[in-house]
Amino acid sequence: MPTRLLLGNESLAQGAIDAGLSGAYAYPGTPSTEITAYVLRSHQAAMGNVICAWTANEKTALEAALGMSYGGKRAMASMKHVGLNVAADPFINSAISGCHGGLIVNVADDPSMHSSQNEQDSRVYLDLAMMPCIEPADQQEAYRAPALAFALSETYRIPVMIRLTTRLCHSRATVTVGQPSRRNDFSYPEDPKRFILLPALARKSYAKLLDRQADFIRESEASPFTEYLEGTDFSTGIMACGTAYHYVREIVGDDCPHPILKIGQYPLPNALIERMMSACDRILVFEDGYPYLEGKLRGLPVRTSPTIHGRLTGHLPRTGELNPGHVAKAFGIESPILNAASAVPSPRPPALCPGCPHGDTCNALNAVLRSGDANGRVFSDIGCYTLSAMPPYESVDTCVEMGASITMAKGASQAGLHPAVALIGDSTFTHSGMTGLLDCINENANVTVVIVDNLTIAMTGGQTSSANHRLAEICTGLGVDPAHIRIITPLPNKHDENVEVLQQEIAHTGPSIIIAVRECIQTARRSRPKGGSS
């Protein structure tokens, strides 16, 4: 069998291609991006006519995957954890309608917030959607997960989530790759009415989903990713979810005296949990992300026997990703005396690349809004331009979630703030800025929207932007007065004109748009288009 050194994300993508994938849709987001980037550059996927696309946002990605599944084919949508917030509506409702061809929702969590604004744990969504989930523990399992998930999905006609975390997504290991299997032919769902979620029909589908829960639990108990390893010392039983299992193995070695329950599939394998709870005096819980399992074990009213130790009891840190040091400490293993940390290094936060077009836009914004009496505020969105929150620019005042720039600026202007400026990238504008702009137009809100069009999705590595050079047309179509759609070129030698345009549009009462067009210097440097950040 051939072996390859693959990232967890690449292993999963190759596993999906080999498992008969027909369609992969995604909006990029660290740490999920390389899944789709891999499918895009896969020769095997291209030869098999696998449809693969960067979509406008995560919701459109998941809906397209659901549609492909309706046609009987195996599909997947991939996103980062906060992307699931955007796709929550199709996520939860597709569990009720069910799917036809196998449907996978890949969600990559980012504990420790390496590249995110929060560390939400996607497993919590399982309680809302009541769909099964597979959590691979390593790259080889990430390769096997899609085949397992597609089979589960087609047995029960239910979408299946695959939960990943940053360390697995972005770690490489030697992976043994298997034989590709056949892709499904087109077919219609045998019971198409279940895709009509009118209340009377939805109630039936919901009842069926509830009935299926017992089957899902049995599947988790029998899953090849779940394992109960016997022990002889019952003073402590160990439960470990996903990658946490390997941190435990690293510390306890191969001959651990305690029983270990490795959990790789949800809903939680109740019978195995019950078995360990009744056999052991204490349960030590290892999981990356929220204390999801630990909270459920504890129950309400709080269960007193056996004792449960984990993130909620201070035996492991409450926040942040696990590492072998934390796990050793939870086992009471003293850490050796370490070399002292050096006081010399200064922090080196990420920054705009030298010569970045966003830098010139921010200089113009600063000239207008950060000088004299600075009543104005800049409501930013998420993208490379958010880095201008840091010195030397310090140009923006907010960054909450994708799309929030235009809508927050609108609300703030209606509260009395002026000038209210929104700063948003081309991709974020098409992701979730356009709808907010429509609100501004309908309410004649007094906001100035600066769209920084660097012709790509730069922050995640230069993927194709859905805006595709059509921002002025989109804004005109939505109803912005063409006299107040201005195009500028963010270059140092255009600074004075750009400042003047900003001043004019801020002085205009009502919505106005300034589109700052200049390509990202990183993508400009690369001649051919590229899929991902690897």
Ligand X SMILES: Cc1ncc(C[n+]2csc(CCOP(=O)(O)OP(=O)(O)O)c2C)c(N)n1
Residues forming contacts to ligand SF4 in the complex (CB under 6 A) are 352-353, 356, 358, 384, 454, 458, 520-522
Residue 428 interacting entry, from ligand SF4, another protein, ligand X, none, C-beta within 5 to 8 Å by type: ligand X
Closest CA to 84 of 126, 41, 130: 126
Closest C-alpha among 339, 17, 26, 7 to residue 168: 7
Residues 6+ apart with CB under 8 A from 218: none
Where b means 16+ CB within 10 Å and e means fewer, 72-84 reads bbbbbbbbbbbbb
Indicate the pairing of strand 133-134 with strand 265-266.
Answer: antiparallel
The two structure tokens encoding residue 330: 């939870």
Contacting ligand X within 459-478 (CB under 6 A): 459-460, 465
Tokens of 64: 């397209």
Residue 374 near residue 419, CB atoms below 8 Å: no
Q: Please report, as residue ranges, which positions from 54 to 93 form the binding site for ligand X (by CB under 6 A).
A: 80, 82-83, 86
Q: What residues from 469 to 528 belong to the interface with another protein (CB under 8 A)? A: none
521 binds, among ligand X, ligand SF4, another protein, none (CB under 5 to 8 A by kind): ligand SF4
- Least separation in angstroms between residue 259's CB and another protein is 18
Q: Is 533 exposed, middle or buried (0-12, 13-18, 19+ CB in 10 A)?
A: middle
Torsion angle in degrees (nearest 10) through CA of 88, 92, 95, 98: -70
Give CA angle at 153 (273, 431), nearest 5°.
Answer: 105
What are the CB-based long-range contacts (under 8 Å, 24+) for 46-49?
48/17, 48/183, 49/22
Residue (144 or 167) nearer to another protein, CB: 167
User: Quick check: 359 binds ligand X (CB under 6 A)?
Assistant: no
Radius of gyration of the CA atoms of the chain, in A = 25
Nearest distance from C-beta of residue 330 to ligand X, angstroms: 32
Length of the chain as a residue count: 534
Select 231 or 532, whichever has its Cβ closest to ligand X: 532
Q: Does 356 bind ligand X (CB under 6 A)?
A: no
Q: How far is the CB of 37 from another protein (least distance, A)?
A: 10
Q: Which is closer to ligand SF4, CB of 25 or CB of 27?
A: 27
- Cα 249 to Cα 92: distance, rounded to the nearest angstrom: 35
Binding-site member from 8, 20, 23, 28 for ligand X (CB under 6 A): 28
Q: Which is nearer to ligand X, 383 or 436 (CB)?
A: 383
Binding string, residues 276-305; x marks residues near ligand X by CB under 6 A: ------------------------------
Q: Of ligand X, another protein, ligand SF4, none, which one sits near residue 198, judging by CB under 5 to 8 A according to partner kind?
A: none
Least distance CB 244 / another protein (angstroms): 10
Q: Which residues bind another protein (CB under 8 A)?
A: 3, 5, 7, 30-31, 33-34, 114-115, 167, 170-174, 246-247, 249-250, 323-325, 328, 335-342, 344-354, 384, 387, 391-392, 459-461, 533-534
Binding site for ligand X (CB under 6 A): 27-29, 80, 82-83, 86, 382-385, 402, 425-428, 454, 456-460, 465
